[in-house]
């Protein structure tokens, strides 16, 4: 079982990890008087679902499928917010996220 920076633990139930991470991110944003918008939440969920670093362009199809603007700046803004708010991601993923 691993412990993440926001204080929740993750065993083998990956969906449980994702749910815990999203709950922790929502609380962190509330505490910081920030909003975890639907686009930001989806980007965070996609990052948690991946087991490897993704490029911004890798996320565009999922945003389009969900009905959001699928332009690269939309992803970049969400990523910048998540990094700036210090929202937790799987160890090292946001730090290794490559910008295309």
Q: Give per-residue pLDDT as tens, 13-36.
A: 578 878 888 888 898 899 989 999
Backbone angles phi, psi at 10, to 5 degrees: -135, 125
pLDDT at 5: 39
The CATH topology of domain 2-96 is: Arc Repressor Mutant, subunit A (1.10.10)
- Give the integer Cα–Cα distance in Å for 6 and 85: 12
Is the pLDDT at 83 greater than 70? The verdict is yes
Identify which has the larger pLDDT, 86 or 82. 82
pTM of the model: 0.74
Strand (E) or helix (H) holding 60: helix 56-65
Q: What average pLDDT is seen over the chain?
A: 77
Q: Per-domain residue ranges for the chain?
A: 2-96
């Amino acid at each position: 079982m691993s412990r993440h920076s926001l204080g929740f633990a993750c065993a083998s139930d990956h969906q449980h990890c994702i749910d815990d991470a999203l709950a922790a991110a929502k609380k962190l944003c509330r505490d910081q008087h920030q909003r975890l918008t639907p686009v930001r939440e989806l980007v965070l969920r996609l990052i948690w679902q991946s087991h490897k670093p993704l490029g911004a362009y890798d996320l565009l199809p999922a945003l389009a499928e969900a009905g959001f603007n699928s332009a690269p700046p939309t992803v970049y803004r969400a990523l910048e917010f998540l990094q700036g708010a210090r929202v937790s991601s799987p160890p090292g993923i946001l730090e290794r996220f490559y910008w295309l």
